[in-house]
Structure 1
């Protein structure tokens, strides 16, 4: 199996996951009480991490490999977008999720979470589409 097919599978997994989070998971946070959300969130974050962590690491690892062995515009742009997603995740989303787990929640913060997540949703969608185009 080629590295490009594995990459396409990982990119597909991440795009499906981010759209589910964007359209279902994050908006559902608005329907919890603060206490219930904090309790659920402390369970949710490690569980979702078991799914998203390996996918993100796999995507990054393959992108680094691809850019180092076949330096193309696609691979260069891909690694830049992936880096942007990692930066956005750790600078914006990790602090928000930490606050939610500690029970420091407001409706405006949860709405901000949904709004800000569009950046990652769009970027992961672009990565998947550009990976898919490589096969046509």
Structure 2
């Protein structure tokens, strides 16, 4: 398995994960009672962090390694989009999740999460599509 295969798997994993979060997990928060929502949200963020954290670190490492090995449109564009996902995650989503209060309604919580999360969904989807096209085409663009 070469670095491009590893990258493709990481990008695919993060894309699938973000679409599940966007279409299932965030909207699913509305099925909890308000008194349980705050408790579950805290558990959810800890558990999802164990999955997302290593994937994001590995994706950043592999993207940086690819850029170090070869500088082209794919590697430069890729590292920029990976950094954008990091910025969105740590400057917007971590504080947003940390600001959720146990007494907030699901509508208050999910409205902001879902609207803003479309950006990460878009960027992780673009990363996967870029890696897939790069892998399939064998074109060094």
* 2:39 counterpart of 1:39: yes
* 2:64 counterpart of 1:75: no
- Cα deviation for residue 92 of structure 1 reads 1.2
CA distance in 2, matches of 1:109, 1:41: 10
Contact 2:15–2:128 (CA<8 Å) still a contact in 1?
Answer: yes
Question: Under a length normalisation based on structure 1, what TM-score does the superposition of the two structures give?
Answer: 0.93
CA distance in 1, matches of 2:123, 2:103: 28
* 2:110 counterpart of 1:113: no
Give CA-to-partner distance per residue, 1:16-42, whole Å, 9 cap, x none: 000000000011112223321111111
The structure 1 segments of at least 4 consecutive aligned residues displaced by more than 6 Å after TM superposition are none
Paired position in structure 2 for 1:103: 102
Gaps of 5+ in 1: none
Give the aligned length. Answer: 135
Q: Could you say if the C-alpha distance between residues 105 and 92 of structure 1 is closer, same or farther in structure 2, counting changes exceeding 3 Å?
A: farther
Give CA-to-partner distance per residue, 1:85-114, whole Å, 9 cap, x none: 1111111111111122x4253423421110
Contact 1:99–1:105 (CA<8 Å) still a contact in 2?
Answer: no
- Cα deviation for residue 70 of structure 1 reads 0.5
Q: Give RMSD over aligned pairs.
A: 1.3
